[in-house]
Chains A and B, each alone.
Chain A
Amino acid sequence: MSTSLDSPPELMPPEDEPQLEGHSTFGDRFFRFLATSAGVAIMVALALVFLFLGLEGFPGFDVDPSNYDGKGSFGSLVLALLFGTTYAAIIALIIAVPFAIGVALFISHYAPRWLSKPTAYVIDLLAAVPSVVFGLWGGLAFGPYIQPAHVWLHEHLSWLPFFSPTPSATGRTMLTAGFVLAIMILPIITSLCREIFAQTPRLHEEAALALGATRWETVRYAVFPYARSGMVSAVMLGLGRALGETMAVSMVLSSAPIITLGIIGSENSRTIAAHIAQNYKETTPDKVAVLIACGLVLFAFTFAVNALARYIVQRGERSHA
């Protein structure tokens, strides 16, 4: 690779066309500078954010216990919030992933061509809807709309801890928040999966088809094995987005920093992001420090999840090769 980049000067001696040579070197330098500085700027910005969160948030680890929303210590507050964050994200994934894979397959392998383009476009449009809009819709329209489903779930499945609390009268519950989050992460998972599915080598799909595989069997034999690691990264990106989502969840959910498995009652776990969004107007410096410390934990947590995702994906790719 590097030799092929280095070779042009040998093929084209500078004496021949010094002007041209000078131009291309300048362009080269300019873009290298641009690319390098952009890369460095990102790293610096990330480091500064981390530094800010660390310096401003550090005091929040240990302030007067009255600042911990009824929790005795920072640890138990952040644990409850981490639980809520993960719980909401997992519910969203459980709803979104099968749906996203189904839609992606429909677009790449099932739909006739005149239908697949518009479908893909509509799904991508979902990504452009601001999360405040999703929050409003979730809290005011969708929550009340699926409130009867909460009642049904409680009547029939209350032996499961998820459905044991008395159903909320407003529908502003973890279940509703999970649905709203699911819709928000659907586009990214769908579009990544769709692209990977569409890249499946024809050779392998035809191998399956020629053996007499149905369309679904072809997907299982050729498409999924090829797309596996890409699907994992798509899901992980969706998870990252769900973990950090603020507005929608805080607008949908009536919540408290508690740990509960119930997803249909009026007492719901709160996510870190929603906790910050709901409280950041608090004026005392101690409370602000607590919120920033929460932000620090969320930052570290999302970072860890993404690192784990990359590790999984890379390991998957290596075992493929």
Chain B
Amino acid sequence: MATSIDVSDVNIYYGDFKAVEGVNMTIKARSVTAFIGPSGCGKSTFLRTLNRMHEVIPGARVEGKIVLQGQDMYAPSVDPVAVRRQVGMVFQRANPFPTMSIYENVLAGNRLNNKRLKKSEADTIVERSLKGANLWNEVKDRLNKPGMGLSGGQQQRLCIARAIAVQPQVLLMDEPCSALDPISTSAIEDLIHELKSTYTIVIVTHNMQQAARVSDETGFFNLKATGEPGHLVEFNSTEKMFTNPDNEATEAYISGRFG
């Protein structure tokens, strides 16, 4: 089910402003890849190009190639909607649909495309996804209550359940824990560990301990100078990045000497 992603020579623009420049990397299937770097260096921007969410901002565009399952997702014939069904996304702030129940929130993606689900199928998907997001035990008695009634950490896990309900290939997470308390954060980190046996996971985090704890590989993004585009400084196994990085800037950032 999971797949790798090949990124070559990607430049990312907001109108005339070049936000990220010259990214090349290979994201391995069934592993966790973390992006770290100072704020404003384009981590979120780059993450959002991996499921063609970048272009929903007016004027935003992407150059280069990103290959998923042997297909360049930026080829003219590819429908961005189809890409997003393969590559799910979890945002910095939990965003369950406010008018929907927990149950309906989980099924939101499955109900797209006018798909009709039998009640039994729907029940199975909801249970499987909520179990997959480690939320089932907490909400199984109140599936018809609004998703907004949950705590912040539960809402974020509900969003993860919603993303995995459609069984994507890849799961993108943009600082999924930044608005959460330490206990909820650790619940989500545990969950990421479990999910990587099924999905290719890419996570942006501003927390280096978190990157070290959850990821197999790490990419360090940085700005050459303010106003210059962000770029990928180093991409290596997490172990190497945190013990013996190739690049001096990486070492400086990780040891806390700047950023």
Contacts and interface: CB of A to CB of B under 8 A. Distances in A.
Interface of A: 113, 203-204, 206-214, 217, 221-222, 225-226, 228, 320
Nearest to A224: B99
5 contacts: A207-B95, A207-B159, A212-B166, A214-B81, A217-B113
A206 B99 contact: no
Contacts of B40: none
Interface string B49-83: 00101001010000000000000000000000111
B84 interface: yes
Given A203-B93, A206-B91, A217-B112, A211 B98 contact: no
Contact of B88 (A204, A210, A213, A226): A210
Given A209-B53, A217-B112, A113 B88 contact: no
Given A113-B58, A203-B91, A207-B91, A213 B112 contact: yes
A210 B85 CA distance: 8
A203 B95 contact: yes
Contact of A320 (B88, B99, B109, B166): B99
The size class of the interface chain B forms with chain A is 20 to 34
A15 B176 CA distance: 53
B61 to A, nearest CB: 15
A145 to B, nearest CB: 39
* Among B88, B98, B113: residue with most chain A CB under 10 A: B98
Contacts of B81: 212-214
B163 interface: yes
Q: Which 5 A-B pairs have the closest CB atoms?
A: A212-B85, A211-B109, A210-B89, A225-B99, A212-B84
B97 A204 contact: yes
Interface in B94-117: 95-100, 108-109, 112-113
A113 B53 CA distance: 19
Contacts of B113: 212, 217
Contacts of A206: 53, 56, 91, 95
Contacts of B98: 204, 225-226, 320
Contacts of B196: none
Interface in B157-176: 159, 162-163, 166
B179 to A, nearest CB: 12
Contacts of A207: 91, 95-97, 108, 159
Contacts of B112: 211-214, 217
Contact of A211 (B56, B58, B162): B162
Contact of A212 (B82, B93, B99): B82
A214 to B, nearest CB: 6
A226 B99 CA distance: 8
A203 B179 CA distance: 14
Contacts of A221: 97, 108
A254 to B, nearest CB: 47
SS class, residues of chain A in contact with chain B: helix
Contacts of B108: 207-208, 211, 221
Interface in B13-59: 51, 53, 56, 58
A61 to B, nearest CB: 47
Contacts of B89: 210
Contacts of B51: 210
Nearest to B108: A211
Given A210-B53, A211-B112, A204 B85 contact: no
A211 B99 contact: no
A170 B24 CA distance: 72
Contacts of A225: 97-100
Contacts of A228: 99
Nearest to B110: A211
Contacts of B84: 209-212
* Listed residue (A206, A210, A221, A320) with the most chain B CB atoms within 10 angstroms of its CB: A210
A252 B179 CA distance: 61
A212 B170 CA distance: 13
A212 B113 CA distance: 9
A226 B98 CA distance: 8
A42 to B, nearest CB: 35
A207 B88 CA distance: 10
A79 to B, nearest CB: 40
A278 B95 CA distance: 57
Contacts of A320: 98-99
Interface string B215-248: 0000000000000000000000000000000000
Contacts of B83: 212
Contacts of B56: 206, 209
Nearest to A112: B58
B95 A204 contact: yes
Contacts of A213: 81, 112
Nearest to B99: A225
B87 to A, nearest CB: 9
Nearest to B59: A113
Nearest to A209: B56
A222 B53 contact: no
A320 B162 CA distance: 21
A225 B85 CA distance: 22
